[in-house]
Amino acid sequence: MPRAAIVFVRLVDRLNYGVGRFAMYLLFVLMAILMWSTLSKALFTPSLWTLEMAQFVMVAYYILGGPYAMQAEGHVRMDLFYAKQSPVRRAWWDAFTVMALIFYLGVMLYGALDSTVYAFEYNERSPTAWRPYMWPIKVILCIGFTLMLLQALSSLIKDIATIRGETV
């Protein structure tokens, strides 16, 4: 494999590892928000912001943790036929499916960028009583889709290396 491809794979894997480890801690933030929501409803006036903030944190957790899960091969697979195949044949299947994923992520990133630009241009706010600005969560979506796209390219390079009998 070319040196640039190896550097790209290592850089993307390291970046997504760090972001994924950070995203893991968002579960604690989510638990704190939900605990506050429960306590405020039981003891005094309920907070307006807790449900929507919990949703935003959950989106960030899911979107930023996805590339890490892909890197760690933590996504669910149907192993009926896949597990019985040789590593090279599995790499062919993975390369085929990751190309479909790259197309899908490209469409999602395009939509997320368009939606983020709209949120900035019109100061888009949520239609709830709390009315937070929408651009922060949309920026996180764009970052997450970009990281997932980079991780998909990294996986494609690893699959090509496996097909060629090389390691990255």
Q: Are 60 and 140 in contact (CB under 8 A)?
A: yes
Say whether 133 sits in a helix, a strand or coil.
strand
Domains in the chain: how many in total?
1
Give the separation between CA 20 and CA 74, rounded to whole angstroms: 12
Residue 118 is assigned to a structural domain of this protein: yes
Residue 141 is assigned to a structural domain of this protein: yes
Residue 24 is assigned to a structural domain of this protein: yes
pLDDT for 78 equals 73
pLDDT for 168 equals 84
Chain Cα centroid distance, residue 1: 27
pLDDT for 70 equals 94
Residue 147 is assigned to a structural domain of this protein: yes
Residue 95 pLDDT exceeds 90: yes
Residue 153 is assigned to a structural domain of this protein: yes
**How far is the CA of 43 from the CAs of 34, 50, 134, 146, in angstroms?**
14, 15, 30, 42
Map tokens 């979506």 to a residue.
141
pLDDT for 154 equals 97
* Bigger pLDDT: 79 vs 102: 102
The burial class, CB within 10 Å (0-12 / 13-18 / 19+), for 44 is exposed
Residue 168 is assigned to a structural domain of this protein: no
Give the residue numbers spanning the domain of 30: 3-163
pLDDT (tens digit, 9 = 90+) per residue, 15-43?
999 999 999 999 999 999 999 999 999 99
Residue 51 is assigned to a structural domain of this protein: yes
pLDDT (tens digit, 9 = 90+) per residue, 112-139?
999 999 999 999 999 999 999 999 999 9
pTM higher than 0.75:
yes
pLDDT (tens digit, 9 = 90+) per residue, 52-91?
999 999 999 999 999 999 999 887 777 778 888 899 999 9
Give the separation between CA 55 and CA 33, rounded to whole angstroms: 10
Say whether 138 sits in a helix, a strand or coil.
helix
Residue 8 is assigned to a structural domain of this protein: yes
